[in-house]
């Protein structure tokens, strides 16, 4: 029999699907002592879940059954609730009211709808912050955040953590064995640290534990610069945007560790009383870099993120959306959930459906909308509900979401047990992103854009891509690309050297290998500890006012924003691109070089070319690495994804172009939605196809 905790660690856990059918029956037996038989026996959740955020506390209880009936009619399988209910479930310190929440969860279950409980720690009640003002976070200017805002708490405050643990324990005691509760979401969108004196003291203690002595800290962070040397631990500040770069990096690492311990405090409270089948996650925010997501994700059963899709401030971009899903999948190296996505009011009809299926194609097993119904008041009252307006009647997008939910039920069995397997990985480092953003040199130099300049052509050339941490296992990839790996501790460099020597193909992008683990410059030129195996180095770098011309194996192009002049040191290094005549310093110098090392290769690209140039470079990387495309060939503007499992391969296709597209197939496949065999698919604008191809002996790779 498969153990529940082993399934939690598997790459396909994201949907909780492998364990729920086994565990619900057992938990239901215990639960039935206090519930009717009809309430206690919950059905098995489908392989793909469609859900929405539901806030029953905002509406009369007489309305609940109507809302849940509309959800059931739309084939919703899950609701998330509870994350803003602390003032309702503990109106006075130590006095609890769970009856209404119990009724809401049971009512959802009667309609065949499962529940994710959000812990209410993001919005402490008024009595709490009034009695314990130290629990409110402090801004950088020293002012405390007021009551009434969300995320107004101090994530490092011991008293707040004590109170949070208390309410979580009470929730877990009441709902930890409820058959309809399938998961917990810790807090909501971790965001702001606190700059109070107690947090500063914790930061100082964190540094003391890391460095052992002030002499070591002063030496490794080069605090002698500008006479910043510390003679007492109490002198160490929380650095601002103009602080010592090493201390700034340590602060961000401390913030990441503190969010992790804040989260772990809640996880432990739930684990003490809840059934292990109830997975635990938190909803992260894509490319947000307020903390290191790899660190915070370690204690979660699965990762989740909030996909804005058609948010007014962030128009939908299919390639960027694909990459953000791949980023989230890399937090735990397994399938994930989309815990929130928007109502799509700024998207064309059908575009939202295509975007949702793209999420599934990149490894999501659940999509949940924010929110079910428009709010009557509150700071987000005009945010728009997904399915129901303020009057309680369905909105125009109701049927589009219902259509996708029905399609989930039809396609779920085919997709169940599948995940993404890639031959290509892109390394993403929060430390490197932070350090580049602090010292961009060129104000338009965005490290996410740099990563996307590699992701986009590699993806368009027909490849699934993993976006992973430099700490991840790289041995399974034929090609590893590291754009802007600015911070390269010796341990990471050693891992990359082993990868190359054992047959891997490593491509370093601009600004890689400049800093060590303390955010100090390596005494070697870039790429620092990899200079020797590269057989070359960066002689000088330039933040560009005007683009400079380059030419070579990848044709003629220009380097934008930034240019690195390379020098060849070893005789077996091949120059791929050179600078043409420009500023005199760059003229004729190498701009991209490569070398065979052991059974593999290492390449350094010191230029940032336009889309055409990067596509030629990407094709060269794939050819050099012997990477064959694993995706179906599709026209421009059409997205395709591939999920594989035991003896099956699923292709998902979405047409984001501006016209109807026909995709011929090399062999017959099953159109999962239509239920028939096809040799081609014709998709209207925003059309979607899910195709099944039977393959023998394909297994999800282990972590």
Q: What does pLDDT average to over the chain?
A: 91
Whether 695 has a pLDDT exceeding 80, the answer reads no
Spatial CA neighbour of 42 closest among 62, 65, 22: 22
Contact 144, 153 (CB under 8 A): no
CA distance 214 to 497: 33
**Token couple for 486:** 């600015």
Q: What is the pLDDT of residue 604?
A: 98
What pLDDT, in 10s, does the model give residues 604-644? 999 999 999 999 999 999 999 999 999 999 999 999 999 99
Mean pLDDT along residues 295-312: 91
Mean pLDDT along residues 86-106: 96
Task: Give the CA-trace dihedral at 526, 527, 533, 537, to 10 degrees.
Answer: -30
Question: What is the CB-side half-sphere exposure of residue 544 using CA atoms within 13 A?
Answer: 21
Q: What is the pLDDT of residue 344?
A: 54
* Residues 284 and 380 both lie in one domain: yes
In a domain, 160, yes or no: no
What is the DSSP annotation of 300-343?
-SS-EEEE-TT-TTS---HHHHHHHHHHHHHHHTS-EEEEEE--
Give the CATH number of the domain where residue 51 resides. 3.20.20.80
Q: What is the pLDDT of residue 382?
A: 53
* Residues 515 and 585 both lie in one domain: yes
What is the DSSP annotation of 266-301?
HHHHHHHHS-TTSEEE-EE-TT--SS-HHHHGGG-S
Spatial CA neighbour of 308 closest among 294, 296, 293, 324: 324
* Residues 368 and 474 both lie in one domain: no
**Token couple for 153:** 């708490």
Mean pLDDT along residues 263-267: 98
Q: What is the pLDDT of residue 313?
A: 65
By percentage, how much of the chain surpasses pLDDT 90? 83
648-655 and 688-693: which strand pairing?
Answer: antiparallel
Residue that terminates a domain, selected from 415, 442, 468 = 415
In a domain, 683, yes or no: yes
Instruction: Please identify which residue in the block is written with the tokens 């009856």.
Output: 99
* Residues 294 and 343 both lie in one domain: yes
Higher pLDDT, 19 or 385: 385
Residue that terminates a domain, selected from 368, 395, 415 = 415
Q: Determine the distance from the C-alpha atom of residue 602 to the mean position of all C-alpha atoms in its chain, rounded to a whole number.
A: 28
What pLDDT, in 10s, does the model give residues 649-692? 999 999 999 999 999 999 999 999 999 999 999 999 999 999 99
* Residues 340 and 437 both lie in one domain: no
Mean pLDDT along residues 403-426: 97
Q: What is the pLDDT of residue 501?
A: 97
In a domain, 571, yes or no: yes
In a domain, 587, yes or no: yes
Give every CB contact of residue 571 below 8 A, 6+ residues apart in sequence: none
In a domain, 251, yes or no: no
pTM over 0.75? The answer is yes
* Residues 403 and 457 both lie in one domain: no
* Residues 465 and 552 both lie in one domain: yes
3-state SS string for 553-590 = CCEEEEECCEEEEEEECCCCCEEEEEECCCCCCCCCCE
Spatial CA neighbour of 486 closest among 515, 518, 457: 515
Sign of torsion over alpha carbons 666, 668, 670, 671:
positive
* Residues 433 and 403 both lie in one domain: no
Give the CATH number of the domain where residue 669 resides. 2.60.40.1180
Q: What is the pLDDT of residue 312?
A: 63
Whether 550 has a pLDDT exceeding 70, the answer reads yes
279-281 and 181-185: which strand pairing?
Answer: parallel
Give the CATH number of the domain where residue 485 resides. 3.40.50.880
Sign of torsion over alpha carbons 421, 426, 431, 433:
negative
* Residues 446 and 410 both lie in one domain: no
Domains: count for the chain: 3
CA distance 24 to 115: 13
Instruction: Please identify which residue in the block is written with the tokens 């101090």.
Output: 154
What pLDDT, in 10s, does the model give residues 67-76? 999 999 999 9
Residue that terminates a domain, selected from 396, 415, 434 = 415
Strands laid side by side in the 465-468 sheet: 465-468, 424-427, 479-482, 505-508, 600-605, 590-597, 574-579, 548-552, 555-559
* Residues 642 and 610 both lie in one domain: no
Question: Residue 343: pLDDT band by 50, 70, 90 thresholds?
Answer: low
What pLDDT, in 10s, does the model give residues 30-43? 433 444 343 455 67
Spatial CA neighbour of 97 closest among 110, 114, 85: 85
In a domain, 253, yes or no: no
* Residues 647 and 613 both lie in one domain: no
Whether 8 has a pLDDT exceeding 90, the answer reads no
CA distance 573 to 596: 8
Task: Fill in the DSSP letter of residue 701.
Answer: P
Spatial CA neighbour of 271 closest among 634, 578, 5, 630: 5
Contact 458, 494 (CB under 8 A): no
Sign of torsion over alpha carbons 101, 106, 17, 172:
positive
Quote the domain boundaries for residue 650. Answer: 638-693
- Apex 563 CA angle, 561 and 569, nearest 5: 165
CA distance 158 to 160: 5
What pLDDT, in 10s, does the model give residues 176-212? 999 999 999 999 999 999 999 999 999 999 999 999 9
Whether 703 has a pLDDT exceeding 50, the answer reads no
Whether 54 has a pLDDT exceeding 60, the answer reads yes
Query: At 345, is the secondary structure helix, strand, or coil?
Result: coil
By percentage, how much of the chain surpasses pLDDT 70? 90
Question: Residue 1: pLDDT band by 50, 70, 90 thresholds?
Answer: very low
In a domain, 633, yes or no: no
What is the DSSP annotation of 125-183?
-HHHHHH-GGGB-B-TTSPBP-TTSSS-B-TT-HHHHHHHHHHHHHHHHHHTT-TTEEE
Question: What is the CB-side half-sphere exposure of residue 216 using CA atoms within 13 A?
Answer: 8
Q: What is the pLDDT of residue 333?
A: 96
CA distance 267 to 271: 6
Run of H or E including 546: none
CA distance 613 to 609: 5
Partner residues linked to 426 by β-bridges: 467, 481
Total Cβ atoms within 10 A of residue 495: 16
In a domain, 242, yes or no: no
* Residues 503 and 593 both lie in one domain: yes
Give every CB contact of residue 19 below 8 A, 6+ residues apart in sequence: 2, 4, 7, 8, 13, 277
Mean pLDDT along residues 52-63: 93
């Amino acid at each position: 029999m498969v153990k529940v905790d082993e399934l939690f660690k598997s790459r396909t856990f994201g949907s909780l699907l492998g364990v729920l059918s086994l565990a619900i029956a057992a938990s239901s037996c215990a639960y039935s002592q206090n519930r009717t038989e009809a309430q206690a026996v919950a059905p098995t959740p489908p392989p793909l879940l469609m859900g929405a955020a539901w806030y029953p506390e905002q509406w009369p209880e007489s309305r609940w059954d109507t809302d849940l009936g509309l959800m059931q009619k739309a084939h919703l399988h899950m609701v998330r609730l509870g994350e803003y209910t602390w003032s309702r479930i503990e109106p006075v310190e130590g006095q609890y009211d769970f009856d209404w929440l119990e009724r809401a969860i049971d009512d959802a279950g009667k309609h065949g709808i499962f529940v994710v409980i959000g812990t209410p720690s993001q919005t402490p009640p008024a009595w709490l912050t009034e009695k314990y003002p130290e629990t409110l976070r402090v801004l950088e200017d020293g002012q405390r955040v007021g009551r009434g805002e969300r995320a107004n708490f101090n994530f490092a405050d011991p008293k707040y953590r004590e109170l949070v643990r208390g309410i979580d324990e009470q929730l877990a005691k009441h709902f930890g064995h409820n058959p309809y509760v399938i998961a917990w979401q810790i807090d909501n969108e971790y965001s702001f640290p606190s700059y109070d004196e107690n947090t500063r003291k914790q930061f100082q203690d964190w540094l003391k534990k890391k460095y052992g002595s002030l002499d070591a800290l002063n030496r490794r962070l080069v605090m002698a610069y500008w006479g910043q040397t510390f003679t007492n631990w109490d002198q160490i500040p929380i650095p601002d945007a103009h602080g010592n770069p090493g201390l700034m990096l340590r602060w961000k690492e401390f913030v990441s560790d503190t969010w992790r311990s804040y989260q772990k405090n809640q996880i432990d409270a739930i684990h003490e009383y809840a059934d292990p089948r109830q997975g635990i996650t938190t909803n992260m925010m894509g490319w947000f870099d307020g903390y290191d997501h790899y660190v915070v994700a370690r204690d979660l059963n699965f990762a989740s993120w909030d996909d804005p899709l058609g948010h007014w401030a962030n128009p939908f971009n299919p390639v960027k959306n694909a990459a953000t899903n791949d980023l989230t999948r890399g937090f735990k190296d397994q399938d994930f959930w989309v815990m929130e996505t928007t109502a799509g009011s700024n998207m064309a009809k059908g575009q939202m459906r295509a975007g949702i299926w793209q999420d599934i194609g990149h490894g999501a097993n659940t999509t949940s909308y924010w929110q079910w119904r428009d709010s009557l008041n509150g700071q987000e009252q005009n945010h728009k509900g997904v399915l129901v307006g303020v009057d309680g009647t369905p909105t125009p997008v109701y049927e589009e979401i219902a259509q996708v939910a029905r399609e989930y039920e039809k396609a779920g069995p085919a997709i169940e047990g599948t995940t993404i397997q890639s031959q290509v990985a892109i390394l993403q480092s929060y430390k490197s992103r932070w350090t580049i953003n602090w010292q961009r040199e060129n104000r338009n130099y965005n490290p996410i854009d740099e990563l996307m300049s590699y992701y986009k052509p590699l993806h368009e050339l027909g490849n699934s891509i993993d976006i992973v941490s430099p700490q991840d296992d790289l041995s399974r990839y034929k090609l590893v690309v590291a754009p802007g790996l600015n911070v390269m501790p010796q341990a990471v460099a050693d891992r990359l050297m082993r990868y190359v020597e054992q047959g891997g193909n490593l491509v370093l992008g601009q600004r890689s290998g400049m800093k060590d683990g303390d955010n100090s410059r390596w005494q070697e030129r870039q790429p620092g500890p990899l200079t020797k195996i590269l057989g070359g180095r960066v002689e000088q770098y330039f933040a560009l006012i005007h683009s400079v011309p380059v030419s070579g194996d990848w044709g003629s192009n220009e380097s934008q924003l930034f240019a690195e002049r390379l020098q060849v040191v070893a005789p077996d290094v091949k120059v791929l691109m050179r600078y043409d005549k420009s500023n005199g310093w760059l003229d004729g110098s190498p701009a991209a070089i490569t070398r065979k090392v052991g059974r593999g290769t290492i390449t350094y690209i010191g230029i940032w070319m336009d889309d055409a140039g990067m596509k030629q470079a990407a094709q060269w990387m794939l050819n050099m690495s012997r990477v064959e495309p694993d995706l179906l060939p599709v026209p421009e503007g059409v997205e395709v994804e591939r999920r594989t499992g035991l003896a099956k391969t699923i292709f998902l296709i979405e047409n984001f172009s501006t016209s109807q597209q026909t995709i011929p197939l090399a062999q017959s496949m099953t159109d999962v939605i239509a239920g028939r065999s096809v040799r081609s698919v014709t998709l209207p604008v925003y059309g979607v196809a899910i195709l099944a191809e039977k393959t023998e002996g394909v297994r999800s790779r282990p972590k």
